[in-house]
Chains A and B, each alone.
Chain A
Amino acid sequence: MSNLKLSEVRKSFGSLEVIKGVDLDIESGEFVVFVGPSGCGKSTLLRMIAGLEDITVGELHIGDVQMNDVDPSKRGIAMVFQSYALYPHMTVRQNMGFALKFGGMGKADVAKQVQDAADILGLDELLDRKPATLSGGQRQRVAIGRAIVRHPDVFLFDEPLSNLDAELRVHMRVELARLHKQLATTIIYVTHDQVEAMTLADKIVVLRDGIVEQFGKPLELYDDPDNKFVAGFIGSPKMNFLNAVILKVSATSCNLKLIDFNEVSFDLPVNGDGLAVGAQVSIGIRPEHFTQNADVEFSLTVDLLEHLGGQSFIYARSDGNETLVLETQDGRNIKNGDRINVGFDKKLALLFDANDMRVR
C-alpha cells in the first residue's frame, strides 16, 4: 500500500502532446478513478504510471521512490487490462503464478499465493482450465487474481469491465468495491463509464485533452463542478445548460435573463465581480432539479418520454427551441405534445461564465 504522486507530468508522441502537465497526489489506500471522453489521455496516463509508456517530462513517485525510469515489474504495481490479457497457452493457475515464478519465488510459495488469491476470488474450480474455456466474468476474475498474487502497492485497472454485459458489469463492480475494502490497497481505475466512476471512487479525476479538469470526491464533482465540462460529463442524463444574459451584477448577486425561455429574469446569489453586464452565460440545472412551483418557472412542450418504471425522463422544448431533459417520479400521465410548467430553485442552479468556468 503506497501513495502516488505525479508532478507536472507530460507525454508527447513526436510533436503531439497528449498529457499536458498533470499534477496529482493520490493517498495510500485511495480508490481513484480516471474518467474522460475518448482520447482524453486517461489510458495513456495509466500506462505511464505502469511504466508501459515513458514520461516525457515530470516526475512519478510511488511511495517515496521516483519511478520514471524503473522497470514496470519493479514499480510495485499490478495491472488489469481491458481485454484481460491472460496468456492463452497457460492454465489459470499458471497465469496467476507466472510473474511470481518468473521473479524467482519457490514452487511451494507460488502455489500458496495462487491458492490464497483463488480463495479470495472463488477461482478454486477454474485453476486447471485454460482462459479460452472461461466466460468473460471468470476471465476478469482471473485477471484480478493475477494482479492480487503480486501484493502490489498500487493496482491499475484499464477499463476492466467494458467487455462485460450490463448485468455482469454491475456484479463485478460490487465485487471490486468489496475487494478494495478487503485489500485496502491504492487503486487507480480508468473508465469512460461515469456510473462506475461515481459508485467505485473515493476520488475522481476528470480529464480532457490531457489536462485534469477537476480532482475530487464523486459527490463534490456532481454538486460543485469547477467548469461546464465537468458539470456536463458527470451525471446521467447530463446537466442541462440554459443560455442567459447578465443584466446586473454585484459582489453578492447577479441578475440575469434566460434566453429562449420566455425571457424570464431572476437573481442568483453569486459573486458577480468578474462578470460584465450584457455577457452571455450558462445556467446549469440537473434533470432531477426541475420542479413545479419553483423560484424560476417557464413553459415547455414535451417531445419524448422515457419511462424507466421508478422514474421518467422528459425531453422537452422551450418556445425558443432549446431542448431540456427533466427527471420526474410521476411522469406516467404526461403525453407527447403536452405543455408543462416547470422551474428550478435558484440555490440549485449553477452559473458558468462565457469561458465555461464556474462562478460561485
Chain B
Amino acid sequence: MMKKLSLKLNFADFFTYVFLTFMAFLSIFPFIWMVIGATNNTTDIAKGKASFGDQFLINVAKFFEQVDVPLIFWNSSKITIISCFFTLGIASMAGYGFEVFRSKPRERLYTIVLLTLMIPFAALMIPLFISIAKVGLINTHAAIILPGLASAFIIFYFRQSTKAFPGELRDAAKVDGLKEWQIFIYIYLPVMKSTYAAAFIIVFMASWNNYLWPLIVLQSNELKTITLVISSLASAYYPDYGVVMVGTIMATLPTLAIFFIMQRQFVQGMLGAVK
C-alpha cells in the first residue's frame, strides 16, 4: 500500500518537474537567444542561427562606436536611483500611515489610491503630457521621475507588509520616548528592510526598463535612456541585430546584478518582512 502511494507521488512529481522545466526554458529562452544573437551578425540572426558565432567582440566594438555608453548609463542610472529613493520613501510613509492611523476618511482615500491602479497608463498619457508640458518639464529627466513617485502599487505593497509590523513594537518605542517619525526611522525602517529590498527591485526594474513615457517626453539625444537608444538602434533603416543584442545584454546586466545581490531579501520581502 505504502509502495503504491509513493510510486503515485513520484509519478506526480515527475510531471511537476517536466512542467517546471518547460516553464523555466520558456522564461530563459529570450535570454539565451539574446546571448547567441550577440555573438552573430545580422545575416546569421535573420537566418535563425541558433548557435554561438564569433562576432561578439566586433558587435561590442560597434555598439561602443555607435552609442555614447557612459552617457546613456548615467541617464538611466540617475533616473532609476532618484525614482527608487523617492518612490520607496513616499510609498513606505504612505503605506505605514494608511495602516497605522486608521480612520474612515483615510480608508476612503486609500480606496481612491487603489482605484488609480485600474486606469491603464495609455489613458493617462495625454493628460499627463499636458500637465508636464504646462509646468515646463518636457525634455527633462524630472518629467520621467515625477509621475511615478507616488506609486499606488508600491503604497499598496507597503500597506500590506505593514500589517505584519507588530503594533507592540510601536508601543514599546513610544514608551521608550520615540515620536512617530522616529519610530518610522529607527524601528520600522530597519525591521522592514526586506520589504524595502523587494520594493526596491520592483521599482528599479520598472524604472530601468521604462520605455513608453521617456519616448514621449524626451527629445534631446543627450537626455535619452538606455531603452530608448537600443530601440532606436533596432528601428534603424538597416538594423544591426548583433549590436542590438549587445545593447540588450548591457541593459539587462544592472537588473540582473541587483536581483542576484538582493535575492534573499527579495524573497523574504515577498513572504513577509517580520517573522
- A-B CB contact pairs (8 Å), 28 listed: A50-B171, A51-B174, A52-B174, A72-B174, A72-B177, A73-B174, A73-B175, A73-B176, A73-B177, A74-B177, A77-B175, A79-B171, A79-B172, A81-B168, A85-B166, A85-B169, A85-B171, A87-B173, A87-B187, A88-B274, A89-B190, A89-B191, A89-B193, A98-B176, A99-B177, A102-B176, A102-B177, A102-B178
Size range of the chain A interface in the assembly: 20 to 34
B275 within 8 A of A: yes
A88 — nearest CB in chain B belongs to which residue? B191
CB-CB nearest 5 A-B residue pairs:
A73-B177, A85-B172, A99-B176, A85-B168, A89-B190
With a CB–CB cut-off of 8 A, which chain B residues contact A78? 175
CA distance A89 to B176 in the complex (A): 16
A71 within 8 A of B: yes
CA distance A81 to B176 in the complex (A): 13
B200 to chain A, nearest CB (A): 18
CA distance A206 to B178 in the complex (A): 33
Contact A79:B175 (CB < 8 A) given known A85-B168, A85-B169, A87-B169: yes
B interface footprint on A267-294 (CB within 8 Å = 1, 0 otherwise): 0000000000000000000000000000
Chain B residues within CB distance 8 Å of chain A: 166, 168-169, 171-178, 187, 190-191, 193, 274-275
With a CB–CB cut-off of 8 A, which chain B residues contact A99? 175-177
B251 to chain A, nearest CB (A): 35
A62 to chain B, nearest CB (A): 14
With a CB–CB cut-off of 8 A, which chain B residues contact A132? 275
Partner of B191, one of A73, A83, A87, A102: A87
CA distance A86 to B187 in the complex (A): 10
With a CB–CB cut-off of 8 A, which chain A residues contact B190? 89
A88 to chain B, nearest CB (A): 6
With a CB–CB cut-off of 8 A, which chain A residues contact B168? 81-83, 85
With a CB–CB cut-off of 8 A, which chain A residues contact B187? 87
With a CB–CB cut-off of 8 A, which chain B residues contact A87? 169, 172-173, 187, 191
B193 — nearest CB in chain A belongs to which residue? A89
**Interface hub of B166, B171, B175, B193 (most chain A Cβ within 10 A):** B175
With a CB–CB cut-off of 8 A, which chain B residues contact A77? 175
15 additional contacts (CB under 8 A) given A52-B175, A102-B177: A50-B175, A52-B174, A71-B177, A74-B177, A81-B168, A81-B172, A82-B168, A83-B168, A85-B171, A86-B172, A87-B191, A89-B190, A98-B176, A99-B175, A99-B176
CA distance A85 to B166 in the complex (A): 8
A322 to chain B, nearest CB (A): 44
CA distance A47 to B174 in the complex (A): 12
CA distance A82 to B167 in the complex (A): 11
B172 — nearest CB in chain A belongs to which residue? A85
CA distance A92 to B173 in the complex (A): 15
Q: Is the CB of A83 within 8 A of B171?
A: no
A309 within 8 A of B: no
B19 to chain A, nearest CB (A): 36
With a CB–CB cut-off of 8 A, which chain A residues contact B174? 51-52, 72-73
A81 to chain B, nearest CB (A): 4
CA distance A77 to B193 in the complex (A): 31
Q: A45-96: which residues lie under 8 A (CB-CB) from chain B? A: 47, 50-52, 71-74, 77-79, 81-83, 85-89
With a CB–CB cut-off of 8 A, which chain A residues contact B172? 79, 81, 85-87
A84 — nearest CB in chain B belongs to which residue? B168
With a CB–CB cut-off of 8 A, which chain A residues contact B169? 85, 87
With a CB–CB cut-off of 8 A, which chain A residues contact B175? 50-52, 72-73, 77-79, 99
With a CB–CB cut-off of 8 A, which chain B residues contact A86? 172
**Interface hub of A79, A85, A102 (most chain B Cβ within 10 A):** A85
A87 to chain B, nearest CB (A): 6
A310 within 8 A of B: no
CA distance A98 to B190 in the complex (A): 15
CA distance A81 to B175 in the complex (A): 11
Partner of B166, one of A73, A83, A98: A83
With a CB–CB cut-off of 8 A, which chain B residues contact A106? none
Contact A103:B171 (CB < 8 A) given known A83-B166, A87-B187, A88-B274: no
A77 — nearest CB in chain B belongs to which residue? B175
With a CB–CB cut-off of 8 A, which chain A residues contact B173? 87
B102 to chain A, nearest CB (A): 12
B264 to chain A, nearest CB (A): 15
B171 to chain A, nearest CB (A): 5
CA distance A74 to B178 in the complex (A): 11
With a CB–CB cut-off of 8 A, which chain B residues contact A88? 191, 274
With a CB–CB cut-off of 8 A, which chain A residues contact B176? 73, 98-99, 102
With a CB–CB cut-off of 8 A, which chain B residues contact A52? 171, 174-175
CA distance A103 to B177 in the complex (A): 7
A70 to chain B, nearest CB (A): 12
A71 — nearest CB in chain B belongs to which residue? B177
CA distance A99 to B176 in the complex (A): 5
Q: A198-237: which residues lie under 8 A (CB-CB) from chain B? A: none
CA distance A99 to B166 in the complex (A): 19
A53 to chain B, nearest CB (A): 10
CA distance A167 to B75 in the complex (A): 63
Q: A15-44: which residues lie under 8 A (CB-CB) from chain B? A: none
B190 — nearest CB in chain A belongs to which residue? A89
CA distance A102 to B187 in the complex (A): 13
CA distance A60 to B173 in the complex (A): 22
